[in-house]
Amino acid sequence: MVVCIIALIIFSIAGIWSAKYRQLAKESFGCVFRMMTFRPCISNIDEKIKAKITAKLMKFPTMARFFYKNFKLLSWMFVITFFVSLAYSAYAIYNLVVYGNCEPGTGICIINEGANYFSQFTQLFTCYQAQVIYEIIIVVVVVLLAFKYLKFRTRKQEN
């Protein structure tokens, strides 16, 4: 049921562009509303999400089983992570608004006024945060490559 919270946010945003998601957003809202009043979800959108994702994972039976068995726990983890990252993002935006993009004390700035966009972008990599950015990029690339490889292997096996 907790996954309905994320579903509501995602489908509401997607529903701005596509009518298909508006009905799903409506169902998610109904589910969230009932959850807040300690009642079970009528529309079963949480079950549908669980079953659809499990079906997609069936090519990797162990992963599918893990996901299906631990859906509730994974939903809670996902929702908590979502709201924590949302809070941190809000905090970062607050800091940007209040302090600007320069660090008080040292005067080091993320973005220099007057500099061109390319040098501003490269400046990002001169800060200590650059390491984090590098790591994020590497993780994303590795995950994408792994996914592509698994997909290619599965297609090869089917043929």
Partner 1 sequence: MDVNRIREDFPSLQQKLDGKPIVYMDSACMSLRPRQVIAAMNEYYEKYPGCAGRSSHKFAEKVTEEYSKARTNIAKFIGAKADEIVFTRNTTEGLNLVFNTLLKKDDVVLTTDREHNSNLVPLQILSKKIGIIYKILLSKNDMTFDIDNFQNIMNKDVKLVSVVHSSNLDGYTLPVKDIIKISHDFGALVMLDGAQSVPHKDIDVKKMDVDFLAFSGHKMCGPSGTGVLYGKYHLLEELQPFMVGGDTVAISSYDSHVLLKPPEKFEAGLQNYAGAIGLAKAAEYIDKIGRSNIEGHEIALNEFITEEIKNMPGMNIIGPGVQERGGIISFNINGIGHHDIAIMLDKMANIMVRSGQHCVHSWFNAHKIDGSVRASLYLYNTMEDAKVFIDNLNNIIKLR
Question: Rounded to an integer, what distance in angstroms lies between the CA atom of residue 61 and that of residue 78?
Answer: 21
Site for partner 1 in 44-83 (CB under 8 A): 44, 47-48, 50-52, 54-56, 58, 61, 64-65, 68-69
105 lines the binding site for partner 1 (CB under 8 A): no
- Closer to partner 1 by CB, 67 or 82: give it: 67
**Of 26, 25, 28, which Cα lies nearest the Cα of 1?**
28
Phi first, then psi: what are they for 109, rounded to 5°? -115, 145
12 is an interface residue for partner 1 by CB under 8 A: no
Residue type, 24: L
Q: Answer yes or no whether residue 39 interacts with partner 1 by CB under 8 A.
A: no
Taking residue 27's Cβ as centre, other Cβ atoms within 10 Å add up to 21
Binding site for partner 1 (CB under 8 A): 44, 47-48, 50-52, 54-56, 58, 61, 64-65, 68-69
